[in-house]
């Protein structure tokens, strides 16, 4: 059995287009590098099943002429409630030993948006982001203030221990040994939906980076970086190395190319992700344009590609040729 590296970018897309109705939904379950030894057939099946459950929940809402806002929230909540993803329960753990979560949502008809960051007790951060958008005069709340707002709006509040899993504790231990942020820095979940009224909504939720320090905040809660929606152009949800997505204003940059240069969503996403790659970052996006065309794109940085080539050569030169010898030894 070969130990293969899986480069992980789970995404699913459903759509329906008839003479009278057009709607679509696309989701992602994060991106990153997972060792095959850590991804059993059962775990792989569990990821796929949970993503299918999530996208079906959103699709069923759209199919009944529901709003894209409801579809996005319902979809992301299912992923947040599963410990498989780096959002809500199962989020990665900070250097301080706690889970700190970010989320955002944006609607494309009026460009209204809501975001939260650094929350530790809100069971479903995406719901809090939506309430910031709909129940407050603000766009972005953080930390204790965001949690107080969530309590005021009667969202479910839990102890931080609810979010912590043994798998994430193990990842934190490994990252601390290396004094690194590179372990499980991906895994953000997101969703973009287009409803039968032509309205686009985008939402994204994350636990951020394993071993992050000093209340680090990535791109997810920053409107225009991790999340953006505009009925004139598209909706985008991002996943990857947040610092580079902030610097490139990734989600908005894709929309701007479409609005000002009449670029397709597929070409615009490739152009923007190339900018991320050229700066040394990597990550991906999912998105829908106003006609239901999709993009599901992921770029690796030059450094990542170099490491992949080195790893591939090492396995081809030293591991694969000695598989039979290794198997014979372990069965002695």
On whether residue 59 sits in a domain, the answer given is yes
On whether residue 328 sits in a domain, the answer given is no
pLDDT at residue 233 in the model = 98
Contact assessment for residue 195 and residue 59, using Cβ atoms and an 8 Å cutoff: no
How many percent of the chain have pLDDT more than 70? 79
pLDDT at residue 166 in the model = 96
Q: 33, 188, 206, 295: which one is catalytic? A: 188
pLDDT at residue 252 in the model = 98
Which residues lie closer than 8 Å to 226 by C-beta, 6 or more apart?
A: 104, 188, 190, 204, 206, 218, 219, 220, 237, 238, 242, 245, 250, 251
* CA nearest neighbour of 270 among 297, 308, 291, 230: 297
What is the tens place of the pLDDT at every residue in 186-241? 578 999 999 999 999 999 999 999 999 999 999 999 999 999 999 999 999 999 89
Confidence of residue 1 (pLDDT cuts 50, 70, 90): very low
pLDDT at 107 over 80: yes
Q: What is the mean pLDDT of residues 79-91?
A: 96
On whether residue 323 sits in a domain, the answer given is no
On whether residue 172 sits in a domain, the answer given is yes
On whether residue 48 sits in a domain, the answer given is yes
pLDDT at 39 over 90: no
pLDDT at residue 177 in the model = 87
Higher-pLDDT residue of 13, 273 = 273
On whether residue 316 sits in a domain, the answer given is no
On whether residue 98 sits in a domain, the answer given is yes
Distance CA 209, CA 195 (A): 32
pLDDT at 119 over 70: yes
Q: How many domains does the chain have?
A: 1
Confidence of residue 44 (pLDDT cuts 50, 70, 90): confident
Look up the CATH number of the domain holding residue 143: 3.60.20.30
Q: What is the mean pLDDT of the chain?
A: 86
On whether residue 313 sits in a domain, the answer given is no
With b meaning 16 or more CB within 10 Å and e meaning fewer, what string describes 72-102?
Answer: bbbbbbbbbbbbbbbbbbbbbbbbeeebbbb
pLDDT at 26 over 50: yes
Domain that holds residue 121: 5-300
Distance CA 186, CA 175 (A): 14
188 is catalytic: yes
Which residues lie closer than 8 Å to 38 by C-beta, 6 or more apart?
A: none
Q: What is the pTM of this model?
A: 0.86
Bridge partners (DSSP) listed for residue 227: 223, 237
């Amino acid at each position: 059995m070969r130990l293969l590296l899986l480069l992980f970018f789970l995404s699913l897309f459903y759509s329906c287009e008839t003479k009278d109705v057009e709607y679509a939904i696309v989701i992602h379950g994060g991106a990153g590098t997972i060792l095959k030894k850590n991804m059993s057939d059962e775990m792989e099946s569990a990821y796929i099943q949970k993503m299918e459950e999530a996208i079906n929940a959103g699709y069923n809402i759209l199919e009944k002429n529901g709003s894209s806002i409801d579809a996005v929230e319902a979809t992301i909540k299912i992923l947040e409630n599963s410990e498989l993803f780096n959002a809500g329960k199962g989020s990665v753990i900070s250097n301080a030993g706690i889970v700190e979560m970010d989320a955002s949502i944006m609607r494309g008809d009026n460009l209204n948006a809501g975001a939260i960051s650094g929350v530790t007790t809100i069971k479903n951060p995406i719901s809090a982001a939506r309430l910031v958008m709909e129940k407050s005069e603000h766009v972005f709340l953080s930390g204790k203030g965001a949690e107080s707002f969530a309590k005021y709006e009667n969202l479910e509040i839990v102890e931080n221990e609810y979010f912590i899993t043994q798998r994430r504790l193990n990842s934190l231990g490994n990252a601390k040994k290396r004094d690194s942020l590179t372990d499980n820095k991906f895994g953000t979940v997101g969703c973009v939906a287009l409803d039968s009224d032509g309205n686009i909504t985008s939402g994204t939720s994350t636990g951020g980076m394993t071993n992050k320090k000093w209340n680090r905040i990535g791109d997810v809660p920053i409107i225009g970086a991790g999340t953006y929606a505009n009925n004139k152009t598209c909706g985008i949800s991002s996943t990857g190395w947040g610092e580079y997505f902030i610097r490139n204003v990734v989600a908005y940059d894709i929309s701007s190319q479409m609005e000002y240069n009449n670029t397709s969503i597929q070409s615009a996403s490739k152009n923007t992700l190339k900018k991320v790659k050229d700066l040394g970052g990597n990550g991906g996006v999912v998105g829908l344009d106003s006609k239901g065309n999709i993009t599901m794109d992921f770029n690796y940085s030059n450094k990542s590609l170099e490491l992949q080539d080195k790893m591939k050569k090492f396995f081809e030169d030293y591991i694969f040729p000695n598989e039979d010898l290794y198997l014979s030894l372990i069965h002695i």
